[in-house]
A and B are shown apart, each in its own frame.
Chain A
């Protein structure tokens, strides 16, 4: 069974992903490139007996060593030597897109040009002479409209023809391959002279296309210089390359990079003039729409409106589904598991407790994020696929620049108000790694939805008249802290990282396709489930273990009141840390420890440790499996209906009856008493300090897991350290400062 490797290359926004999805279907899998935090997508296309491994290279505008993405794409083509490279180009933007294609043609002869977006080219009345284009480039050119599935068959056919042709003994070798374009005589002469010395080295001759390597050495490309240096007695090569580069500089009074780019673009310009008829100079429809969308005032309002909709989708609209998952996992499902355990005579044992309170609670903790994430990713995918993301970055750039970030960073930060987890994953859309890290470090300061119930509970107990103001103040404090930390990091750790100026292509608007949005949404959600599930589950089980171990009293393992558990003792041991902040008793500390896992459980832990009568957890009647399954299903349908009903709420129409859930007054009194005691009579100040601490300390394990996945483990720890410290200092200032000022 013959196997082939095919690389898929192209500029961003050319429909490369669509073609990849079409070729590989459900067989695709994502991971990271070895040693890099750049996403690697690969999949399989089977054609008769032949198996084609399709590797989606990171989208790039060129293949110099400017970014990790470009180096990855380049190394793969040159070193992994794929049997074919499909270069996807946008037919409406040929001049810019052919630059990358030309670079790839200098590396390998086995290229297929997928001329995508022919529908847009037709509606712009562009006529492209495909035959001439193919002749001039010396490779097959396949016109396509990938969004509509057009041209895919011809692409597959060309691919299978190409790998057959490449097998023939007479096929040109990569090392001898001559690309379609010739440079001006002085540059060609320099290339020739470098090739002459390169040819004497077998190791280089076997490994690299020599003409390409010579050109790269002439440009003094850092990674290629390093590759050559690794070869024995390479001094002569480097010497010749340096001399030739110097000679060209003397001759043209210009950098070799600029010279080469200039000659390539000149060549492309002539080619495009020759093959494309009907190019217009005037503004396009996209340009006219952009008059409004990129306007300093209107554009800002539109952006805020879009963010509002996405924010609402991921909170209010997702809420009924989140509740349903919670009810299902902890209600019906827990009940079935309990019955199964009873059948196995494990009822009321520690095994049952571990499975129900440890594992199931963990599963629930992971699954409740799924609807939130799916709605967020859907919003993001639509923004990306439609071309709006680039406009959003453009509009927000002037504001984000003050933070040393560029416009695109604003999107993850705003999403952080909904949930920090997808916000961290959303940093993936930023090109520079230092931007991704800095933004990912600031996201936790955005007060997420799960922190809100804590503020509400504490504020209603201690400042009933100013509850709204207090809650709003928390959100603002988070933003201010993000600003301060951002500036601080920019001036210290990120002082030497390259200046992050905005430089992005703004693609023409396009209607997003259901398929692209769905694939993107599902892949990202799956990636979260795979990455975060382990850490959340492990932490959930560890907490269960601490709660299960009796330290005093006459309880046995897994049958012990909270007060007597190792958990309470652990909290008691940590609580002196919080004494200067006014809330250092074991009860509050327990809530903070479980809040370290997830802010959602702070309120329920408070209720548990302050011994308030708990709201009964979803009672399930004993009516048999099928009735219950039906019930769960009806419940799900209701949740979906509620989700649909809550969509109009985005624009202020509320179809759902308002909830009236008030905490039992007994709990409120108990909490009030607890804070008064722990603070020595300054309960209100301690409560405020508690709110500040909840805002600032690490949001949840899911966020940590996301940070570990996206930024790496070192940055995750640094982020946690900053949050714990900053939270402590801010709460200390609130409590002690308040005491000094007002009492």
Chain B
């Protein structure tokens, strides 16, 4: 029989390939001329991601088409994950604009920085479109490993290296556990293809019966590995250290995109492959959600460093999102559950990158990152203070800002799934979170300014912050269509 070569469906791969092409171009220009790279890297990274964003429209996601066998799936879920990853990537590049202009040591590559950032975006897009465990793992590691390096990017500063090292060691540790879980899933089902795993499990598992211990082991190992990626308590401990140590724009980025990759992996693995075990894992996620949101929101109160506070607040938000997944049940309520989590991630991207962006903006002006540094900001820079206030109130969940809709949809999914007390927990924890979010606002508006203030111009950073503030204010108006898009996916699951 003659050998037949099958070409992949290139058309499905256009958006990630554009990102990949941009990375190659960035590195190539950097290799040829560092001077040219310093000038062109930032616009290139922006344009590349914008192009990729536009090219999302060229793919027919409704088909759920696959390529490379079934390893790559272009379905609705892949679209939404790519969308969030690219939007966050663009916003992060804008936030990085100030830092890369002034904060980098001379000779340390701006192009490398952006290439790493784009690698991570690329990895996240791959996780979203993964059809089997290997591709999923590759994407997940790509999105994480690049961020390890980014965290250490301010290598003159010891805390930056320390944060990176902790993140890296624990990340590798958790990856080993995750892969071990994947190996067991493979061994027990005989396949690494997500849909085949679900198919096999359906014949193995009978509802109501206790689970095969080996399967339980696999599930738990996966839960731990993925729990680390999304920073769920008790696998969260790297988060505050890494967020505080990393350069602020990197903190902004890594508070969102690796988390998107993590949640995409959770959805692909648990919701798609292990759907027949949903009774088991939904309960587990419920417990994790509760511990996570309580721990994150409570400890955030005791923080004075804003980046660290946002690190704990990020843990709290992971808890809310996990609660959304814990609402998963087969059928319509399941669509709601996954949809609400995707919407949450989308909303979270704007307000969290925005909040870190304001801190980066302050650092450009010679201030530090503690609560005292934002004191009296409203008198000094009313627009920046207003922007920060919008992000804080939105993170708190105040209507009618974007963060409110995010929580609202999660709570609604929980109510529909009958898990009232998780819904109540979210409401209570939102109230607790008011402590530390509002404290930032009162500091900005009712205190006298301190510290030295060095006026500089950061137009791109300013543009990014404005865009995010406007989005946080106004995107609630189109929450319906976005949610609908996010809810499309599970229908195309089987």
Answer yes or no: are A and B bound together in one complex.
no
> Could you tell me which A residues sit within 8 Å of B by CB distance?
none
